[in-house]
Amino acid sequence: MNLERWRTIADWPLTAAAFLFLIAYAWEVIGDLTGSAAAAAEAVIAVTWAAFVIDYVVCLVLAPRRWRWFYTHLLDLAIVVLPALRPLRLLRLLAVLAVLQRTAGRAFRGRVIMYVAGAVALLVFTAALAVLDAERSAPASPIHTFPQAVWWAFETISTVGYGDFTPITETGRLVAVGLMVGGVATLGIVTATLASWIVERVAETEADERAATHGEIVALSAQVAELKELLEERAAS
């Protein structure tokens, strides 16, 4: 079995594992679980973690150039090492679907917008869970509820940063850095998509103008030819 074949087989099971992780992690963090409920959530998280570890090891073994695959897939390593990043595996499926379904320029832009919207929602939700999990146990932290964490995540990913909610733990600040980087990257995608749309519109306008000008020249040439023939006929008579 080669790497591409394994990727094809593993994509859907890993996507299902990412969904299961997200549900279990959200249940555990928002519900502030204890006892048997917390143990059940941790069991689901452990199973999904094992699935991603197996996928990473298999991909590394099957890669033709293992060292190159390793340093070009650091996000996959982060997904395995940092459980809070595991739902980001869903973004790979969104990217694959966007590539497979694109047909033309406008259609591709539609997929990009869908991808960006999904990425933003996933980043905000995951970051809110992660920062709440890290900050809730810190007495001096201003973030103690999920709505506060969501508001902080929106502030951070949009690079607004009002400062009313600020993580104080090392883990919370690490989440903030990742979310800020994600916000800047998302803004870059939106800007590039908008710029592409403007360039295409300008190109279409110029093409229409050139076509109209060409048509006018052809019509004028035909009229000149007709006038020339008429003058020649009158001169001959």
Cα distance between residue 176 and residue 182, in whole Å = 10
Cα distance between residue 22 and residue 20, in whole Å = 5
Residue 99 binned pLDDT confidence (cut-offs 50, 70, 90): very low
pLDDT, position 193: 66
Mean pLDDT, all residues of the chain: 77
Residue 95 has pLDDT above 50, yes or no: no
Task: Lowest mean pLDDT of 32-36, 38-42, 45-49, 101-105, name the range.
Answer: 101-105
Residue 148 binned pLDDT confidence (cut-offs 50, 70, 90): very high
Helix (H, G, I), strand (E, B) or coil at 102: coil
What is the pTM (predicted TM-score) of this model? 0.67
pLDDT, position 102: 42
Q: Calculate mean pLDDT across residues 51-71.
A: 88
Helix (H, G, I), strand (E, B) or coil at 110: helix
In this predicted model, what pLDDT tens digit does every residue of 21-36 receive, in sequence order?
888 888 988 888 888 9
Residue 58 has pLDDT above 80, yes or no: yes
pLDDT above 90 covers a percentage of the chain that reads 7
**CB contact set of 196 (below 8 Å; sequence gap of 6+):** 105, 109
Contact (CB, 8 A) for 51 and 89: no
Cα distance between residue 152 and residue 165, in whole Å = 6
pLDDT, position 96: 45
Cα distance between residue 149 and residue 234, in whole Å = 90
Burial 188-208 (b: 16+ CB within 10 A, else e): eeeeebeeeeeeeeeeeeeee
pLDDT, position 100: 44
Contact (CB, 8 A) for 143 and 149: yes
pLDDT, position 110: 59
Q: Six-digit token pair at 21?
A: 């992780």
pLDDT, position 229: 75
Dihedrals phi, psi of 106, to nearest 5 degrees: -65, -40
pLDDT, position 147: 93
Determine the length of the chain.
237
Give the residue from 56, 86, 85 showing the smallest Cα distance to 70. 56
Contact (CB, 8 A) for 138 and 212: no
| Cα distances (angstroms) measured from residue 37 to each of 29, 40, 101, 125 | 12, 5, 40, 22
Q: Calculate mean pLDDT across residues 119-134.
A: 85
Q: Calculate mean pLDDT across residues 69-93.
A: 69
In this predicted model, what pLDDT tens digit does every residue of 149-205 receive, in sequence order?
999 998 888 877 777 888 998 888 888 888 888 778 777 766 776 676 667 766 666
pLDDT, position 75: 74
pLDDT, position 207: 64
Task: Lowest mean pLDDT of 33-37, 39-43, 233-237, name the range.
Answer: 233-237
Cα distance between residue 64 and residue 162, in whole Å = 48
pLDDT, position 105: 47
| Cα distances (angstroms) measured from residue 92 to each of 16, 38, 173, 181 | 13, 29, 25, 18
Residue 111 has pLDDT above 90, yes or no: no
